[in-house]
Structure 1
Amino acid sequence: MKPAMLPPLRQDLGLHPGPTADDGTPTWTLHDPAAHRFYELSWPAFELLSRWPLGSADAVLQAVERETTLRLGPEDLQALLQFLASHHLLLAHSVEHSARLAHAAAAGRSSHTMWLLKHYLFFRVPLLRPEPLLAWLARHTGWLYRPAFWWAVGGAALLGLFLASRRWDEFTHTFAAYGSWSGLLAIGVALSVAKVLHEFGHAVTAYRYGCRVPTMGVAFLVLWPVLYTDTNEAWKLTRRGQRLRIAAAGMLAELALAAVATLAWSFLPDGPLRSGVFLLATSSWLVTLGVNASPFMRFDGYFLLADALNTPNLHERSFALGRWWLRERLWGLGDPVPELLPPARQRLLVAFAFATWLYRLVLFFGIALLVYHLFFKALGLVMMAVELGWFIVLPVWRELRVWWARRAELHWNRSTRRSAALAGALLLVLLLPWRGGVQAPAVLSHGEQQALYAAETARQRGAAVAEGSRVAAGQLLMRLQSPELEQRLEAAALQEALLRWQVEQQPLDSRLQQEGQALHQRWQAAREEVAGLRRQREQLAVRAPFAGTVVTAHPMLADGTWFTRGEKLFQIVGDGDTLKVEAFVGESDYARLRREGPQRAGARFVADLPEFGSVRCTALQLESVNLRSLPQPYLASVYGGPINSVRDGAELRPLGATYRARLTQCEARPLARELPGRVRLEGAARSLAGEGWDWLLALWRREGGL
């Protein structure tokens, strides 16, 4: 309905020229100082507002038609009026208007629970009113904005990265040395220094272009502190390039710091100063490029992209287009597009919306897991539920509510038929038991094989058998000699001989008689020590445990070569062609294999070596105790293997519960060495939904301590 008289505007509103729109038309920026918000006005909206004092709708429309080339109707004026009213930009001119404002204020007041929830997720603490400091800095930092300075920074960055690449091992090992609590504290201090410089980069640049910077402080995002600078007045600037420089100033400041620190690391001597510049270099590079440059959160990268595309409120506008696109593809509702854009720009924003949703899904899920593990279980579970509910479940629930509210508008069309077909196919994939058996990483080896190791640190004496030689059971493969062991044996033998003489002389010597039975016990202990050392010396004669073939031999076998204790010397396999497979299964697969038991018909091993093919086995034996460490290093993820693991001293520990499954009665095949691969253990087919439910139950038992 066309209003007869227009309500007055608030007198404190500010209007500033804005940048030129993509179609060449001028724009203006409306500033609401009470809410500290900025609104971009199109050319028609500006022409209507500039004639608002005429009072009546007819007078405003006629003046626009008479004085401009625009042809606007009552619906344009009504849309502008609704915008002004919804954002509280009109003066309260009636009782009804005052009542609406009071209702909006009441709706904005939240309960104590909601207040606590919102302030747990995000709140700000202003710490500094930086205008006087910025005025002083502006007089002394003009040289930072000269091209020569940034050419020098670029050169320093290239030279520093080149020098660091020449000592890359030292650089990466230095970073790994900061894994302790003291190292993490040092990284936190370095990040704090870099982030302070980052925020002052924004503030000084905004002040340089005439923007007011009212506050600087710290914001807490899920209780994680993040520095912030209020540069909202950058929207007053008419030049898009100036806004881009303000948005990029923080990252450029950090990158300049990283460039100088990286270069300094290559020249400074070892010490606290070198460690400090290393931390500044690494933290600045990683955080600036990995976090601040991302456009998927409201960090610097987002504002840079919004200004580069000349699309204020990029997230909100792209999300609106993404929801519209999703509803049209799923249900074909026929809704008008939220805003008219060129097809290429529309596709870009829709793709950006889906990429942002996916990024946030992964990010918020990771934050929820981090919060859960940082606190004790009860509090961690509550905080994780809040994270998942607020950031993931609530947005999805709101969209589902819209679909349900508009269910009466649904009818069979091309989109709904496609959606029904896709939903049916997804249900079939989830519910039908089409996944049979279990796949697991495995190793194929001979049924009879053994590795032989050096029993002591010793050197080789004489020749050794060569790789590929056939040997008999008990045959000498090589002889080792340990001078240290020989010295200990000689000393022990002399001590044993002395004690034996004393035992023989005890009946004749009163002093020895006083020692009594203790002398016999010391002699017995000395005899056992000598016997033990002789057995150790016999172990230095490396012999074949059974008849077979030496498939691998140490490459440094030669007379006089030293070997350390535990060093592998030979790998011997038996004469038979029997093979065995050792598979390594996770907790859920282990429970399933135990439950199915005799239903399994067998297993098939497929080697990573394509030309070897596959081997079928029929007998399976499960170990009931999970592995403490991986016996084959090449299966560990730290060496590129398929089992997630970490290094713990000399051992490789699996990150999850891992059980060994032994497969025997395998097909006879010639095998030269152990082969890694994957095994498929056959069994009853299961659905993806069933496997997911088993996984959730196992997770619940593990985390609940059941």
Structure 2
Amino acid sequence: MSSDANSPSMPTVILDPEVTFISREIGGRTTYVSHHEATGKFFQLGAEEYRVASLLDGVRGVPELYESLRSEGIEWTTEDLAKFIAQLVQANVAVIKQGSTAGTDSPAAANMDAGHNRDAASGQTETSEPVGDAAPPSPSRPRPAALVTLLRFLPLLISQRFPLFRGDRIATRLTRYLGNAFEPIGFSLWTLLVLSGLCVVYGHFEAFAAELRRMFDPGLWPMLFLIWVVAKLIHEAGHAVAAKHHGVRVGQVGIMFFLLAPLAYVDVTDAWKLRRRIDRVQIALGGVYFELAAAAVAAWAWWLLPEGYAKHITAQFFLISGPATLLVNANPLLRLDGYYVVSDLTEIPNLRMHGRRQLGAVLQRLFFGIPQTRQLLSGWRVWFASIHAACSVVFQVFWMGGLVLGVAMWARGLGILLAVAGVLMWFLIPTVRWVWKIWTLEPGERFGLNVYRRRMLFYASLLITLVQQLGTVSSPFDRRVPVVVRFQDEQIARSPSDAFVESLFVERGEHVDQGTLLMRLKDPELRIRREKKVDDLEIVELRAIQYRRQGELSKAATSLENANALRRQIAEMDEQIAQLTVIATRSGYIVGNQVESLPGRFVSAGEELLRVSDPQEKELLALVPEQDVDAYQLATQNDSPSRVRLRGGLTIKAKPASLRPRASRTLIHPALAANVGGPLAVEPTLDGSGKMRLAQPYLESITKLDPITSAEVRSGQLGSMTIRDNRPLLARVYDAIATDFRRLGRSQ
């Protein structure tokens, strides 16, 4: 709509008769909630905007309206008036009665959220909107047909909503049985139930933490999906019952797909008609309210059920209906239930719109010197809305970024298409619109530039320089390589066969020299088997001599081969018998958990008996992943030692040693495994032995520690060695994301 008040083609506008207004006191100011019956949309208007809307009778044009407002003391310009009327027309709240339609500028800063539809129970319906509130381009500049088609098609790629049935009748039936849950007695019982469920979880926290880890098992995802469906049906029923309990009409119930994820929704838009904040808050929290009660019941069922599959299912139901719904639905930074609760409690309708417009105005004034327009809020609500907007933008950048990357990784080709659509709709298109808005704010001057364009070019060049620096300059952050402390050249005495400990000549903690006799083992069966092998060898040798004398040379050769095999077996048995006498191969101290109980005990082959080590001779075993090899080799070339932080708070200095040439997936030290609290991911070996191996190859390095440092650390102590990162910062971020998705791919 043209802002020229004297234009002869200026049309007159009449307010749609289906629009009704409800006055409301918000923050000490009178505001008006308008409801458009045909579209089901609600709009929040200030007192001045309401007065303008009430004057739209289809007779007065902008000049007459301007004069009427001035006579009433409302200081609006004709441009503000024309833009606000254009916004009403765009939202189908007002209708052009006569004259030709003209172009409209971007919506004015009126105290309304055109098109805001409060689906408090819709789950994820609001997250499909872009992160920024960018004004649409002026219709006076026709868009190319391809661009128009693209802008219409992009939202359909991200989100599709399918209404199924009207929920008012079902909500009425459910309210007969569950409506008392929102009464004081029902709330008291709910509080007792939820608190008791929390006590059950708190008393078995480790067991529930183990169940949380099982949630990421792909084999359980079909059952988890069914649990999620049941939980969300309970959630939407909570919204519907709360709305009907307060006399609010329940609209359509349906399903929507957001980034391929199915989500239920129920339309309780008429909650805007309620005057009391507490009633609107109850409707907004109705879904979480019901889900938490169901989670508490699931926690009690988990505690009462015996071990088995049903017990596991109830634990997963608790996790989805309890912590998960609090993290998502009750999060005030997402435009879901928690957002509407904060909006109602602070009496800031359309909180995100106000906050982001206020935040955008502050940033435009800070970077471009653009004068700030008339504020929609006052007092503490100004900074509260701005802080909320800043926090929500940062959170949703990471939230939406994670969703987009996850879908791109999971759905492959279609996921990449959805990721591109998300980047275009949530970032690229709003950014282009905002840049175009600033660029066309004033006409060009010398060389086609004005002050805003010059500043924009300066910031663009600064951004390009910054990205270039981030892509070339080494990262200021460090890398961390996992390490474990162990003894140098530690002797681990193991039983060579199934035997009895005949005698022990040392005690735990005793210092021994190299060659000291430690213990003797006794294996009578081994000696008997050796004697039998000796007898067999004599018989085979005699047969070989006999066959040779008889001229049967082939049989003689076979007998000689059997004799050689028996000699090798006897040699192995002699070695085992020799090992029954355990001798110290190095000097050190005797360590072991059950050294005193060894005499007379039966020990199996391979069982550890004792160890000989020196507490002043320890070393650091470092396992370096392939992506950190280059940085580690650079660290070994420097003479300065690296910082090693061990668990328990101890920090030492150690110079990185050279890497061994071959990578391996063998788990060298059991303390490094993630299944026992270590830092490295492991998986079962392929031979079915039940042993674990590293999930990816690692290279080893061994750093000797000096005696003083060795005395300070403990064997088996885990930690990390800090080395300088040789990658640019952008490369570091890319490698981190790629590593996470490789792990996700392996888990699937």
TM-score, structure 2 as length reference: 0.75
Match of 1:71 in 2: 73
Q: Secondary structure at the match of 2:263?
A: strand
Report the CA distance between 1:156 and its aligned residue.
Answer: 2.3
Q: Percent identity?
A: 21
Report the CA distance between 1:355 and its aligned residue.
Answer: 1.5
Separation in structure 2 between the aligned mates of residue 392 and residue 653 of structure 1, nearest angstrom: 43
**Are the aligned partners of 2:541 and 2:559 in contact in 1 as well (CA < 8 Å)?**
yes
Report the CA distance between 1:44 and its aligned residue.
Answer: 3.0
- Structure 2 residue 360 is matched with structure 1 residue 358: no
Q: Secondary structure at the match of 2:348?
A: coil
Q: Secondary structure at the match of 2:668?
A: coil
Q: Secondary structure at the match of 2:237?
A: helix
1:11-410 map, 5 Å: 11-25=16-30, 27-53=31-57, 55-56=59-60, 71-73=73-75, 75=77, 78=82, 80-97=84-101, 114-177=151-214, 180-271=217-308, 273-329=310-366, 331=367, 333-336=369-372, 339-376=375-412, 381-392=416-427, 394-395=429-430, 398-399=433-434, 408-409=450-451
Separation in structure 2 between the aligned mates of residue 572 and residue 399 of structure 1, nearest angstrom: 72
Separation in structure 1 between the aligned mates of residue 593 and residue 163 of structure 2, nearest angstrom: 67
Report the CA distance between 1:309 and its aligned residue.
Answer: 1.8
Amino acid of the structure 2 residue aligned with 1:314: L
Match of 1:645 among 657, 681, 684: 681
Q: Secondary structure at the match of 2:24?
A: coil
Amino acid of the structure 1 residue aligned with 2:504: A
Q: Which 10-residue stretch deviates more, 347-356 or 195-204?
A: 347-356
**Are the aligned partners of 1:156 and 1:259 in contact in 2 as well (CA < 8 Å)?**
yes
1:621-640 map, 5 Å: 621-635=658-672
Shift in alpha-carbon separation, 1:676–1:361, aligned structure 2, 3 A: same
Report the CA distance between 1:312 and its aligned residue.
Answer: 2.3
Report the CA distance between 1:194 and its aligned residue.
Answer: 0.7
Report the CA distance between 1:362 and its aligned residue.
Answer: 1.8
Report the CA distance between 1:630 and its aligned residue.
Answer: 4.8
Shift in alpha-carbon separation, 1:422–1:99, aligned structure 2, 3 A: closer
Report the CA distance between 1:420 and its aligned residue.
Answer: 11
Shift in alpha-carbon separation, 1:570–1:282, aligned structure 2, 3 A: same
- Structure 2 residue 518 is matched with structure 1 residue 477: yes
Shift in alpha-carbon separation, 1:161–1:493, aligned structure 2, 3 A: farther
Q: Secondary structure at the match of 2:285?
A: helix
Separation in structure 1 between the aligned mates of residue 261 and residue 741 of structure 2, nearest angstrom: 30
Amino acid of the structure 2 residue aligned with 1:284: S
After superposition, give the CA deviation of every residue in 1:654-687 in whole Å (9 maximum; x if it has no partner): 66664334456x76756245465555668xx968
After superposition, give the CA deviation of every residue in 1:50-73 in whole Å (9 maximum; x if it has no partner): 45449436887888899xxx6324
Q: 5+ unaligned residues in a row in structure 2: which ranges? A: 106-137, 442-448, 744-748
Report the CA distance between 1:106 and its aligned residue.
Answer: 9.4
Shift in alpha-carbon separation, 1:493–1:143, aligned structure 2, 3 A: farther
**Are the aligned partners of 1:2 and 1:74 in contact in 2 as well (CA < 8 Å)?**
no
Separation in structure 1 between the aligned mates of residue 433 and residue 612 of structure 2, nearest angstrom: 66
Separation in structure 1 between the aligned mates of residue 429 and residue 66 of structure 2, nearest angstrom: 43
Amino acid of the structure 1 residue aligned with 2:18: L
Report the CA distance between 1:167 and its aligned residue.
Answer: 3.7
- Structure 2 residue 598 is matched with structure 1 residue 554: no
Report the CA distance between 1:248 and its aligned residue.
Answer: 0.5
Shift in alpha-carbon separation, 1:144–1:613, aligned structure 2, 3 A: closer
Shift in alpha-carbon separation, 1:121–1:452, aligned structure 2, 3 A: farther
Match of 2:503 in 1: 462
Amino acid of the structure 2 residue aligned with 1:201: G
Shift in alpha-carbon separation, 1:598–1:279, aligned structure 2, 3 A: closer
Report the CA distance between 1:168 and its aligned residue.
Answer: 3.8
Report the CA distance between 1:161 and its aligned residue.
Answer: 2.9
**Are the aligned partners of 1:10 and 1:91 in contact in 2 as well (CA < 8 Å)?**
yes
**Are the aligned partners of 1:584 and 1:661 in contact in 2 as well (CA < 8 Å)?**
yes
Q: Secondary structure at the match of 1:194?
A: helix
Shift in alpha-carbon separation, 1:267–1:667, aligned structure 2, 3 A: closer
Cα RMSD after superposing both structures: 5.0
- Structure 2 residue 615 is matched with structure 1 residue 545: no
**Are the aligned partners of 1:554 and 1:568 in contact in 2 as well (CA < 8 Å)?**
no
Separation in structure 2 between the aligned mates of residue 540 and residue 444 of structure 1, nearest angstrom: 30
Q: Secondary structure at the match of 2:95?
A: coil
**Are the aligned partners of 2:15 and 2:57 in contact in 1 as well (CA < 8 Å)?**
no
Report the CA distance between 1:198 and its aligned residue.
Answer: 0.5
Separation in structure 2 between the aligned mates of residue 626 and residue 611 of structure 1, nearest angstrom: 30
Shift in alpha-carbon separation, 1:676–1:285, aligned structure 2, 3 A: closer
